[in-house]
Chain A
Amino acid sequence: MKTLFVDSYYVALRELKKYFRQKTRMIMTLVQPFIWLVLMGNMMSGLTNNPFAAQMLGTGNYLSFMTPGIILMTILFSSIFSGTSIVWDRRIGYLDKLLAAPIKRGAIPFGKTIAAMVQGGIQSIIIIVVAILMGVRFATGLPGILVILIIAMLFSLILAGISLAIASKVKTIETLMAIINFFAMPLMFTSNALFPLKVMPKWLEAIAKVNPITYAVDPMRTLTVTGWSRTILPGIGITLIIDVIVLVWTEFVFKNAVSE
């Protein structure tokens, strides 16, 4: 067990070293949430002037409502690409190099998942800082922000895990991209990340209720807008359960895919 974590750490370290070296990618993760917050904030400020809408959102500040959604959206669009590293490693033979070493096989997808979670955490921090600079006040303060970060990282585990599992089965990056693109956008817009469940048509609400984003965003939004509350527990619990299922599934699919 200890070996699994140590091995995973070095698999993750490799990904993170490369991540921090990519200046453009780093800048993009900074700029993107900024643009989202400014754009959406401006576009929607008209909406929150309407008291009925404000009540729907649970806050007069649409940015506060949006921030958790933007965190998850940013994570979604980065974690879901975790799998590309497996396809790439397979292509350049690095995967064989890892498998030929005496590391635990499970450490390969697990390490890459951890790397995605750390990246997700960093992106979340950037978004939170930008949000604070733009006037968002987190109702639960620093402790609440920490919990938000944890939920965000648990969410990135789900996406990274699914992506890695699919990636261990496909041969080319193009195939992986096609599958990812097929899921990513619909996943985002069938959740309550950008709009509250209450304003959704019934059919969309039904889809949103089985969308994992909804369960992650719910407690994050409560912590941002409302304050400490027991209602955050179901969301966190369901996210955790999905985490475990995804992890077990990913490990299974990966081990299966590399044993010819």
Chain B
Amino acid sequence: MDKAIIVENLKKTYSNGTEAVKGINFSVDYGEIFGFLGPNGAGKSTTIKVIIGLLRPTAGKVYLDGFNIEENPYEARMSKGYASQETSVDDRLTAYENIYLQGRFFHLDAKTIEKRAKDVLEMFGLWERRNDLVDSFSGGMRKRLDIAGALIHEPKILFLDEPTLGLDIQTRHAIWNYITDLQKNLKMTIFLTTHYLEEADALCDRVAIIDHGEIKAMDKPGVLKSSIGGDIITLTFSNDKGKTDSFLPIIKEIDNVKSVNPLKNGIYQIVVSKNGDEVIPVIFSLAQQKNINITSVRLKRPTLDDVYLKYTGTTIREAESSREEIAKQRIMMRRMRR
């Protein structure tokens, strides 16, 4: 088996009857960053917990690095690292102690831990703060520490459950950099979940859109986005109409250009199947050769939000707020009954 993760017909129904995961199939290649994108309550955490053996699957099979989690729990456990949604670092221990214990829980000897703790703490910019209590750490530092700890036993596959949940934009970007570095420098396979569209877009080689425990769509973010139409380039020309019209066939010849539609007053809309950002410079250099004047340009790319809308019928924010509403109502109901 040459896949890092294989999930076959996975179902998970909690003992209270909640069908959190309703039969999903996917596989992840070695070295890939694979993302689960979906609103709160979609079943992302449940899927991770079943894959890494924290929950028993109701049905279906899971292979981690070729090991079946139920038949070879030890090997499967050793091959993966896990940073939970809750950021489970111990506040009342120092950063180093957190890492040290994590190493011991993975049965490493003192020498190995000493060496690797330094490596991972340096990698995540925490070496200087190693002897400080985690109590004094910011949310971003805790998250980094948690991920660093998950790497202590050099796992092949890293599971990150909502790695930037609740962090501010800058901190999120910093975490993204750490994650892409792991892929680039350590050839790590990374499975992450998120309900931030930008995050899935920025980080993942492939994305699965999950809603109500089912995978609705799965592909490269670019492919998903182009599946709903493609980029739209809006150009404004300042030449007389005849000259501009003579230029339009030339634009149509450019790779990926699907159609050119005139709007009004020298404004034209160009639909591109993908990579609109790469088409624009081509148009510009051709325009220069033909002495065509372009006074403004705008690129609108479909977002994963558009994709999400297409496959689930709601935007991710609507889905979340409506689910919050339902939860609130439920709590209200319970109070009323008492």
Contacts and interface: CB of A to CB of B under 8 A. Distances in A.
Interface of A: 3, 6-7, 10, 13-14, 17-18, 21-22, 91-94, 96-103, 259-260
A151 to B, nearest CB: 30
Nearest to A19: B92
Nearest to A97: B88
Given A17-B97, A21-B92, A260-B14, A10 B77 contact: no
By secondary structure, the A interface counts as helix
Given A18-B93, A96-B49, A96-B54, A101 B106 contact: yes
B139 interface: no
Contacts of B309: none
A93 B88 contact: yes
Contacts of B171: none
B86 to A, nearest CB: 3
B92 to A, nearest CB: 5
B101 A96 contact: no
Given A102-B74, A260-B15, A260-B56, A14 B88 contact: no
Given A96-B54, A101-B77, A13 B88 contact: no
A100 B77 contact: yes
Contacts of A102: 73-74, 77-78, 105-107
Contacts, number: 67
A6 B77 CA distance: 18
A92 B86 contact: yes
Among A3, A13, A97, A99, max chain B CB count under 10 A is at A97
Interface in B1-31: 14-15
B106 A18 contact: no
B202 interface: no
A83 to B, nearest CB: 17
Among B55, B73, B78, B101, max chain A CB count under 10 A is at B101
Contacts of A103: 105, 107
B129 to A, nearest CB: 17
A102 B74 CA distance: 6
Given A10-B101, A14-B93, A99 B88 contact: no
Contacts of A7: 105
Contacts of A91: 86
A103 B102 CA distance: 11
Nearest to B88: A93
Interface residues of B, number: 28
A171 B82 CA distance: 23
Interface of B: 14-15, 49, 52-56, 73-74, 77-78, 82, 84-88, 90, 92-93, 97, 101-102, 104-107
A97 B84 contact: yes
18 contacts: A10-B101, A10-B104, A13-B101, A14-B97, A18-B90, A22-B92, A91-B86, A92-B86, A92-B87, A93-B84, A97-B84, A98-B105, A100-B53, A101-B106, A102-B105, A260-B14, A260-B15, A260-B55
Contacts of B15: 260
Given A260-B14, A260-B15, A94 B90 contact: yes
B93 A96 contact: no
Nearest to B105: A101
Contacts of B92: 18, 21-22
Contacts of B86: 91-93, 96
B177 to A, nearest CB: 24
Among A13, A18, A100, A101, max chain B CB count under 10 A is at A100
Contacts of B97: 14, 17
Given A10-B101, A13-B101, A100 B82 contact: yes
A14 B91 CA distance: 12
A100 B101 CA distance: 14
Among B73, B78, B104, max chain A CB count under 10 A is at B104
A211 to B, nearest CB: 34
Contacts of A18: 90, 92-93
Given A13-B101, A14-B101, A93-B85, A99 B54 contact: yes
Contacts of B90: 14, 18, 92, 94
A14 B53 CA distance: 24
A98 B73 CA distance: 14
Contacts of B53: 100
Given A97-B105, A260-B14, A260-B15, 8 more contacts: A18-B90, A92-B86, A92-B88, A93-B86, A96-B49, A97-B88, A100-B77, A260-B55
